[in-house]
Each structure stands twice: as structure tokens, then as C-alpha cells.
Amino acid sequence: MASVGVIGAGSFGTCLAMLLGGKGHQVTLWARRPEFAAALANTRVNQTYLPEVELPTTVEVTSDLQTAVSDKKFVLATTPSHAAREVLGQAAAWLAPDTIVVNASKGLEQGSLARIDQIYADIFPAPIAARATHLSGPTFAKEIAQRLPSAIVIAGADPEATGAVQQEFSTDRFRVYTSEDVIGVQMGGALKNVIAIAAGMSDGLEFGLNTRAALMTRGLAEISRIGVKMGANPLTFAGLSGMGDLVLTCAGELSRNRRVGLALGRGRKLDDIIAEMQMVAEGVKTTRAAAELAAREGVSAPITDVMHAVLYEDLPARAALTALMGRSLKSELS
């Protein structure tokens, strides 16, 4: 059995710690706040983020980052993308030379517009960055923790590393596929959150299933255009980290980003929505970065642009969706 350090004790970090610990791996789960780590270690239940299930005895909880990552075969990073450079940058000093880093964050860095693999290239020694892998796909933490069947994809440039993650993370209820498309898997995972806010907003306005389906389909086209411009394989967006994750996040009741959109469609203000949420909705920050990236690369991204106007320029939700319908007519493939 392998030694695994999990960075981040939110819902996804906790559920993956449970999954890996349940398989028999020795897992160390890192929580940023010492008082939170102490409570989790004592009760064995993450009351804030995943109260339905109990940590197995194979999972140790700590607030000491060095303890969490030192001498681990795998280090699984689940922090929000905006914290990746800071937290993983600190962890870099304690990683063993043969550690395989598994990124499970979905987003783009504010300002630099960097993907997580690009951040890793900046903060890790070259061999560790080259072996790093990226986990993405249609998975809600609650359902993984409940051992409901799920499928996910692990992308990496090193086949030996991706194969190792596939082997050690797969269970009879958690099926892991491999991919060589590091860019595409990350772009699909990040950009689908923007479309999910739009789909939720449409539902909040009670625009119906036709509208949601249109947003999801045209959103996938938009994600694909941006991803391909960045160097992704277009077929990746028909897979688990593309269409699969998009469908789940746009339509699933557990989706945080959809929840933000629902509230916007019902007339709530973004600041009030965020203040009430315990968990991070990555799509809010990603929308700003995605709009900047599309503009920089000269890629048409009307849904992203409209959602940027809603989130950051106070464009009313109803006006945003009306604006999308009023655009000049085009070929579907243009």
C-alpha cells in the first residue's frame, strides 16, 4: 500500500482521503486551520464539508504541511486554484524526489492566467513538475464518499506516473481513465464552471430545459475553442473532463457553481451569495480569468463574456441571456 498526503480538507480532499484510506493506503490529510484539524482528528467526521461519513482509521489528520507531504509516494492537492501557488510552493521543499503530485484543483490563476501545470513548472523541481498529474471529471464529493459508482480521468505527460495513479486510486466504485492531454483535461475542468453559473442563472430565471441545453451545448463549443487554441486535443472535450464534467456541473443539484447561478437568476447579489457559501465556487474567479484569456488569444467566447459582465459589471441576469439570444446569426460550426 502507498503513502499519500492529501492537501486540503474540504469536501473533495476529505472524500478522496476516505477513498484512498478505505483502499488501505496510509493517508495524511492536511487542514490549514489547526483547530479544524484537531476537531476532525477527534471526531473523525468533517462536520463542515462532508458530515455524512466517517474517516477510516488509515487516515491521519494534521495541520502541519511538512508532516502531510514528507516521504509520500503521492501528494494529492485539492486546494482552490487561487491558493495553489502559495500552498504547493511551501510544500515543494519537503517533497521526496520520486513523489507524484496529483492535482485535483480546477481553475486558472488570477493575473497570470496560468493553468495548474504551469504553476507547478514554476514552483517544483523539474523532475517533479514533469511527473505531475491532473485529476478531473464528473464527480461530486458526497457521492464518492457514499461509494456510488464514478468515473474520472488522470492526465499527465509521464505514462509511468499516470499509470501509477490509475492503479493506486481505482476501486470497484471509482474508475480512473488515463489521458496524455494535460492542457485539455485542465481547461475542461476549469471552464465548465463558468458555463455552470450561466446554466444555473437560466434555471433561476425559469427559462426552461431548452435554454439550459442550449447553454450547455454552446458552452461546450466555447470551451473547446479556447482549449484547442491553447493546444488541447479537441476529442478531450467529448470525454469525462469535458462533456461529462459540464453536464454534471450544469445540471447536478450538488453543484456549487450552479447554485451561484440560481441565486443570481433569482435576483440575489454576488457578494451576498458568496458570503453565505461555506465552500468555494471556482467559477466566479475563473470567469474573470477565462474572459481575459479568450480576449488575449482572440477566441470568441460570448457566454464567458456575458457572465463576466454579470459577475463584475452588474449586468442584470435577464439582460445577459437576452443579449446572447440577440447576437448575430451564425453557422453552428463557426
**The one catalytic residue among 23, 72, 106, 192:** 192
| β-bridge partners, 28 | 5, 60
Please enumerate in sequence order all residues whose Cβ is within 8 A of that of 136, keeping only pairs 6 or more positions apart, or say none.
Answer: 104, 106, 152, 153, 155, 185, 186, 188, 189, 240, 241, 245
CB atoms under 10 Å from CB of 53, counted, come to: 19
Active-site residue flag, 106: no
In whole angstroms, what is the distance from residue 248 CA to residue 156 CA? 23
Residues acting as catalytic residues: 192
